[in-house]
Amino acid sequence: MANTVNALNKKITLEQALSYMEDGMTIMFGGFGGVGNPPSLIEGMLQKGLKNLTLIGNDAGFPHIGVGKLVSEGRVKKLIASHIGSNPVAGKLMTEGKLEVEFSPQGTLAERIRAGGVGLGGILVDSGIGNPFVEKGKEKVIVNGKTFLLETPLTADIAIVCGHTADHFGNLTYNTSARNTNPLVSMAGRVTIAEVDQIVETGALSPEEIVTPGVFVNAVVQSEGVNWKWAWEEK
Amino acid sequence: MGLGREIREQIARRAAKEIKAGMVVNLGIGIPTLVADFVPSSVAVMFHAENGVLGTGPSPVKGQENPNLCNAGGFPITAGVGASYFDSATAFAIIRRGKLDMTIMGALQVSKSGDLANWIVPGKRVPGMGGALELAEKAKRVIILMNHTDKYGEPKIVNECSLPLTARGCVDLIITEMAVIEVTSLGLVLKEVFKPFTVEQVMALTEAQLTVESTERS
């Protein structure tokens, strides 16, 4: 990556971004219920025919919204998420044994992603103590007399995130609640690709408004916008 | 599920009475989402959405939605006075650190000791626990809004949950289309019965034993 992208100008085309992705990769995505999923990168992944992917992110979107499309089209072999309730296709594939799903409680998942992103070896969480589904296979650690589960960090070959504005260094701002898991995911990719509504000259963003420092971002892609109808929009 | 609009609103209206000024409250998907509409504007509440918003405002005017500004159910919201945006780790820091005064959510089953099952029906539906586990474990008060019975007419308020638990002993209050039931250390207490139901009807459709504290009808 360092050889192909200028650290001071990380803007690349969608095609260049897709060239980093291969079948079988682990890809982490930002977003929550489709909001904040990067639409153009996901469309590109579909077009490219990527398959056997392991996806890591909050949820399975909706069948025709966001990452849900990758799941619905059978491109995903494993999903690490907090729920798949909004995507019945994911549930069906899971029941049929065509999709492996690993559930983490939502806040634990966010912290596992953050832990991966910030270089921690694990986190100690008391959520799900006493719950056999959550505890299964996890080491217990006692700190000051209190019991915690050792939850492992998550990282990915590629992290794809959705921002509002990026500058050429990759500094990112977000749009309202589309921020959600994006700042966490942006830190956790070996290669992080940010899709944004607008790209500006480095220096145009105020240091105060930058949420993700560009040092975590390897490449920036101009978004072509959402190409789906939201669940709340009239059909 | 299966409840008409009027009944859903009746449940939401009753739940709204539990919300007091100054509270920080998380509303789940479904009937709980409706609760905000029944909180008087004179009662200042900070509504928390676990995707990363604190201080959500009234629903947006149709046609003026910002598709990026949504609650955890993916429906458009607005930012109210004093609202803030943050990432999902911070959203759950608010939950984990016990900053939520109340969470209002749905359920598949609740037991006599306040155990909550709402994330999986083995072999049938496996939606995943989402944020419900942390909300149920950590909020100071957990209020459940649900049908009194399941789609087969079987009681959802039971002695022991047959479905896998989300969290143990976490529920404080249950509001259904039939009744308001409080979970106490001595068991379930029937607080209110909604018209047109009778105490006997409520008891017949509740597996767990109910102590009848009053026959208040509302």
Which residue numbers of B are catalytic?
50
Residues 6+ apart with CB under 8 A from B212: B189, B190, B199, B203
* Full domain range(s) for residue B132: 5-212
Spatial distance between the Cα atoms of B13 and B180, rounded to a whole number of angstroms: 12
Calculate the alpha carbon distances from B34 to A235, B14, B116 in Å: 22, 11, 21
Question: How does residue B218 score in pLDDT terms, banded at 50, 70 and 90?
Answer: low
Closest CA of chain B from A177, distance in Å: 5
CB contact under 8 A, B166 and A33: no
* Interface residue A234 vs chain B (CB under 8 A): no
What pLDDT, on the 0 to 100 scale, is given for residue B18? 98
Q: Is residue A207 part of a domain?
A: yes
* Interface residue A226 vs chain B (CB under 8 A): yes
CB contact under 8 A, B130 and A35: no
Question: Is residue B214 pLDDT above 70, yes or no?
Answer: no
Closest CA of chain A from B152, distance in Å: 21
Residue type for position A174: Y
Q: Per residue in B27-74, pLDDT tens?
A: 998 899 999 999 999 999 999 999 999 999 988 999 999 999 999 999
8 Å CB contact between A38 and A162? yes
Radius of gyration of chain B (CA): 17
8 Å CB contact between A172 and A210? yes
B207-215 contacts at long range (C-beta below 8 A, 24 or more positions apart):
B207/B155, B207/B157, B207/B158, B207/B159, B208/B111, B208/B112, B208/B155, B208/B157, B208/B158, B208/B159, B209/B112, B210/B181, B211/B186, B211/B187, B213/B189
Residues of chain A with pLDDT > 90: what percent? 96
Residues 6+ apart with CB under 8 A from A231: A34, A62, A65, A86, B74, B75
Q: Is residue B218 part of a domain?
A: no
Burial of B203 (0-12, 13-18, 19+ CB in 10 A): middle
Contacts of B117 in chain A (CB under 8 A): none
What pLDDT, on the 0 to 100 scale, is given for residue B213? 78
Q: Per residue in A186-212, pLDDT tens?
A: 999 999 999 999 999 999 999 999 999
> Which residue, among A124, A127, A154, A196, would best test binding to B if mutated, counting the most B CBs under 10 Å from its CB?
A127
Average pLDDT, chain B: 95
- The mean pLDDT value for A71-76 works out to 98
Residue type for position A219: A
Q: Is residue A198 part of a domain?
A: yes
Task: Choose among B66, B70, B89: nearest Cβ to A110.
Answer: B89
Element (H, E) at B14: helix B5-16
Closest CA of chain B from A185, distance in Å: 10
Q: Is residue B80 part of a domain?
A: yes
Q: Which residue in the block uniquely carries the two structure tokens 């650290």?
A: A7
CATH of residue B118's domain is 3.40.1080.10
Q: Is residue B114 part of a domain?
A: yes
Q: Is residue B217 part of a domain?
A: no
**Model ipTM value:** 0.96
CB contact under 8 A, B168 and A83: no
* Full domain range(s) for residue A211: 14-122+153-222
Question: How does residue B126 score in pLDDT terms, banded at 50, 70 and 90?
Answer: confident
> Which residue, among A84, A148, A177, A184, would best test binding to B if mutated, counting the most B CBs under 10 Å from its CB?
A177
CB contact under 8 A, A176 and B129: no
State the total domains in chain B: 1
Task: Choose among A94, A176, A184: nearest Cβ to B69.
Answer: A176
* Interface residue A130 vs chain B (CB under 8 A): yes
Spatial distance between the Cα atoms of B174 and B187, rounded to a whole number of angstroms: 13
Q: Per residue in B165-192, pLDDT tens?
A: 999 999 999 999 999 999 999 999 999 9
Q: Per residue in A135-154, pLDDT tens?
A: 999 999 999 999 999 999 99
Closest CA of chain B from A217, distance in Å: 17
- Of A63-72, A205-214, B9-18, B206-215, which range is least confident? B206-215
CATH of residue A38's domain is 3.40.1080.10
Q: Is residue B21 part of a domain?
A: yes
- What is the bridge-based pairing of β-strands A189-200 and A172-173? unpaired
Calculate the alpha carbon distances from A36 to A74, A91, B106 in Å: 22, 22, 26
Calculate the alpha carbon distances from A155 to A7, A135, B35 in Å: 22, 21, 38
Q: Which residue in the block uniquely carries the two structure tokens 């899709």?
A: A195
State the total domains in chain A: 1
Calculate the alpha carbon distances from B131 to A37, A101, A211, B70, B204 in Å: 19, 16, 24, 16, 33
3 state DSSP class of B109: strand
Stated length of chain B:
218
Residue type for position A166: A
